[in-house]
Amino acid sequence: MPPGVSHSGDLDERLRERSYLAGEGLATAIFLALKLQRPLFLEGEAGVGKTEVAKVLSRMLNTSLIRLQCYEGIDVNQAVYEWDYARQLLHIRTAEALGATEDRTHFEDELYTRRFLVSRPLLSAIEHKGENPPVLLIDEVDRADDEFEAFLLEILSEFAITIPEFGTIRAERPPVAILTSNRTREVHDALKRRCLYYFIDHPGLEREIEIVRLRVPDAEEALTQQVVRAVQRLRNMDLYKPPGVAETLDWTEALVALGAKELDEGMIEATLGSVLKYHEDQQRALLQSLQFLAGS
């Protein structure tokens, strides 16, 4: 817990200082995750700022961010640890050349020591040495398969990793664990049960304007207002992929890069690709007339 934070409101304030607008609910969720030392499971549409939570937390807590991007087929050797077999072999060869393999049992024990163990993100997070515990981001956990979720159970409930040849490695201080999911698949209840849960929704008009102000300070106030209003209209438009906050920010940045002072039809047409990523969605938006989007 960062110094001076005794209530979720303080935390909300700290996050805002680092350009992240959490709001009361998410701030309380993060506050409790830090206080109770529980992993935080974040769900929500793509682009609502789930991954960003981990990034801003690592900045706020002044610690490192260890990220594990999940994908299908990810296994222990890619996520937790791996023995460095090549180095072990080399060690054997060297020892043989020096005639140091006499005491066999002692020699074998030496092969399974820490220096032959390669850390992957989860082991790095558990072993992390530093002033503050690290932030561990397990991103898009829904992309991994069931087998992998099972590995996560031990790590997230005990903050310990058991390596058969070596023993159990326990975290001195548990990392701040953030799990995100896009809900492409239902994550197992056993995993969710070990976490606090929060669903991040699209922000309302006022909050989204504030977010854009914070994140794209170069944008003219009029432009910011217009862009956010346009995005909120797009979200109500029944699109295949309604734009998230990430798209709002991309769009505003694109417009600023083109030197736009305010949103007009020409500008929308030129930059629509940064906010709508489906051809059908673009057509639907164009049908609705750009005037409607521009709000004039």
Does residue 72 belong to the site contacting other proteins (CB under 8 A)?
yes
Give the integer Cα–Cα distance in Å for 184 and 37. Answer: 27
Does residue 76 belong to the site contacting other proteins (CB under 8 A)?
no
Using CB under 8 A, pick the residue from 16, 25, 59, 207 that binds other proteins. 25
Is residue 179 within 8 Å of 141, Cβ to Cβ? yes
Rank residues 243 and 252 by Cβ distance to other proteins and give the closer one.
243
Q: State both tokens at 146.
A: 């069931």
Using CB under 8 A, pick the residue from 64, 132, 182, 282 that binds other proteins. 182
Does residue 8 belong to the site contacting other proteins (CB under 8 A)?
yes
Q: 259 to 278, contacts with other proteins by CB under 8 A?
A: none
| 3-state secondary structure (DSSP) of residue 199 | strand
Q: Which of 284, 6, 44, 85 is nearest to 184 (CA)?
A: 44
Does residue 170 belong to the site contacting other proteins (CB under 8 A)?
no
Q: Which of 175, 193, 54, 52 is nearest to 124 (CA)?
A: 175
Rank residues 36 and 206 by Cβ distance to other proteins and give the closer one.
36
Is residue 215 within 8 Å of 56, Cβ to Cβ? no
Does residue 241 belong to the site contacting other proteins (CB under 8 A)?
yes
Burial bucket for residue 55 (CB in 10 Å: 0-12, 13-18, 19+): middle
Give the integer Cα–Cα distance in Å for 2 and 10. Answer: 10
Using CB under 8 A, pick the residue from 71, 170, 204, 289 that binds other proteins. 71
Q: Which residues bind other proteins (CB under 8 A)?
A: 7-8, 24-25, 28-29, 31-32, 35-36, 38, 41, 43, 71-73, 75, 77, 82-83, 85-86, 88-89, 92-93, 96, 111, 142, 145, 147, 182-186, 189, 192-193, 196-199, 240-241
